[in-house]
C-alpha cells in the first residue's frame, strides 16, 4: 500500500545559537507564512530549541520539501513513520548516550525520582502549547481509566508491582517517583516503540466522557461505528500508529491520509 506522508518540520531551523543568530525560515514554509497560513518561525519553535550540530558528525542540512512514499504491507505499518522520525522525550545519541530531545532537561535522584522539564514555548503540530497538562491527561484520564486501560496501568510503569507517584510541579515540570530504582524508565522513553507519557489533551478531551458533551459524544461514537466512547478515544489517539490525520503530534512528520 502506498501512503503519502507530508514532511512537517516542527523545529524548522537548527542554528548554533538561537539567540545570537536569527532563526531562518525554511523555504518550504515561506509562502504559507507570507499568506498568514502559518505564523513566523520564531512563533513556532520553543524559546530554546534543541540545537543539532550537523558539522560535528560530518553531516549537512538536507533539502527542504519533497514527498516520502513508502511501500508497506498494511495500514498498521504507518508506525514506520514514528520509528524513523525518532522524536522522543529522551533519545539515544550517536554514541548511544541518553540525552534530552523534546524535553529541555531532566533530573534523576536515587535512580527512582525523575523530574522532567519541558521546553518553554514548545507546541503541538496544530500550534497549541505542549504543557504538563498533556502528561496529567494521559496519566489520570487514560492510564488510570478502567475503560481506556482495562488491563490496568501499563506494565512498563510498574516497578516491583507498584506504579509511580505522578506530580505536576508547574505548567512545564512533572515528576515520577517510584519506591524503588527504575533504571529502565529513560531507555523506555527513547525506544523505537517508546513508552508514551503524554497525549494532546486539548484535542482528545472532546472524545473523553469526563470532558465531552454527552449528546455530542454519543453522536461521534455512532458516526465512527464503534462500541462506546472508549473505542472512539482509542481510535482517535493512536500515536505510535498515527492513522488519524487530525491528531496533533510532536513528531517531525504528520500523516495527512486517512485509512481506507
CATH number of the domain where residue 149 is located: 3.90.76.10
pLDDT tens digits for the chain (260 residues)? 333 333 333 333 333 334 445 788 888 889 999 999 999 999 999 999 988 888 888 888 888 777 777 777 888 888 888 888 899 999 999 889 999 999 999 999 999 999 999 999 999 999 999 999 999 999 999 999 999 999 999 999 999 999 999 999 999 999 999 999 999 999 999 999 999 999 999 999 999 999 999 999 999 999 999 999 999 999 999 999 999 999 999 998 888 888 87
Cα separations in angstroms, 214 against 143, 209, 217: 22, 7, 5
b/e code 98-114 from CB counts within 10 Å (16+ = b): bebbbbbebeeeeebbb
Residue 208 pLDDT: 99
Assigned domain for 168 exists: yes
Assigned domain for 34 exists: no
Structural domain containing residue 185: 72-253
Assigned domain for 152 exists: yes
Residue 21 pLDDT: 57
CA distance 245 to 255: 5
Assigned domain for 86 exists: yes
Assigned domain for 17 exists: no
Assigned domain for 67 exists: no
Assigned domain for 14 exists: no
Residue 74 pLDDT: 80
Cα separations in angstroms, 45 against 12, 25, 79, 118, 251: 7, 11, 25, 13, 13
User: Which distant-in-sequence residues (6+ apart) come within 8 Å of 118 by Cβ?
Assistant: 102, 103, 104, 130, 131, 132, 172, 173
Assigned domain for 210 exists: yes
Residue 1 pLDDT: 35
Instruction: Report the number of distinct structural domains present in the chain.
Output: 1
Residue 187's nearest CA partner among 103, 89, 110, 105 is: 89
Task: Decide: helix, strand or coil at residue 73.
Answer: coil
Amino acid at each position: 500500500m502506498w501512503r503519502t506522508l507530508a514532511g512537517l518540520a516542527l523545529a524548522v531551523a537548527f542554528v548554533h545559537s538561537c539567540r545570537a543568530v536569527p532563526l531562518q525560515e525554511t523555504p518550504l514554509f515561506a509562502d504559507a507564512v507570507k499568506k498568514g497560513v502559518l505564523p513566523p518561525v520564531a512563533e513556532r519553535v520553543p524559546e530554546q530549541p534543541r540545537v543539532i550540530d550537523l558539522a560535528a558528525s560530518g553531516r549537512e542540512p538536507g533539502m527542504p520539501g519533497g514527498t516520502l512514499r513508502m511501500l508497506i504491507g498494511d495500514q498498521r505499518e504507518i508506525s514506520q513513520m514514528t520509528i524513523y522520525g525518532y522524536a522522543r522525550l529522551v533519545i539515544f545519541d550517536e554514541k548511544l548516550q541518553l540525552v534530552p530531545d523534546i524535553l529541555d532537561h531532566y533530573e534523576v535522584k536515587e535512580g527512582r525520582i525523575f523530574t522532567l522539564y519541558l521546553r518553554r514555548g514548545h507546541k503541538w503540530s496544530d500550534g497549541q502549547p505542549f504543557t504538563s497538562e498533556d502528561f496529567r491527561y494521559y496519566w489520570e484520564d487514560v492510564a488510570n481509566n478502567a475503560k481506556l486501560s482495562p488491563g490496568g496501568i501499563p506494565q512498563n510503569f510498574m516497578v516491583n508491582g507498584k506504579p509511580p507517584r505522578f506530580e505536576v510541579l508547574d505548567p512545564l515540570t512533572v515528576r515520577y517517583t517510584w519506591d524503588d530504582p527504575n533504571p529502565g524508565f529513560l531507555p523506555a522513553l527513547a525506544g523505537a516503540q517508546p513508552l508514551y507519557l503524554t497525549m494532546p489533551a486539548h484535542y482528545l478531551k472532546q472524545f473523553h466522557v469526563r470532558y465531552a458533551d454527552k449528546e455530542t459524544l454519543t453522536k461521534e461514537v455512532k458516526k465512527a461505528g464503534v462500541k462506546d466512547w472508549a473505542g472512539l478515544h482509542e481510535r482517535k489517539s493512536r500515536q505510535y500508529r498515527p492513522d488519524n490525520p487530525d491528531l496533533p503530534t510532536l513528531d517531525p512528520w504528520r500523516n495527512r491520509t486517512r485509512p481506507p
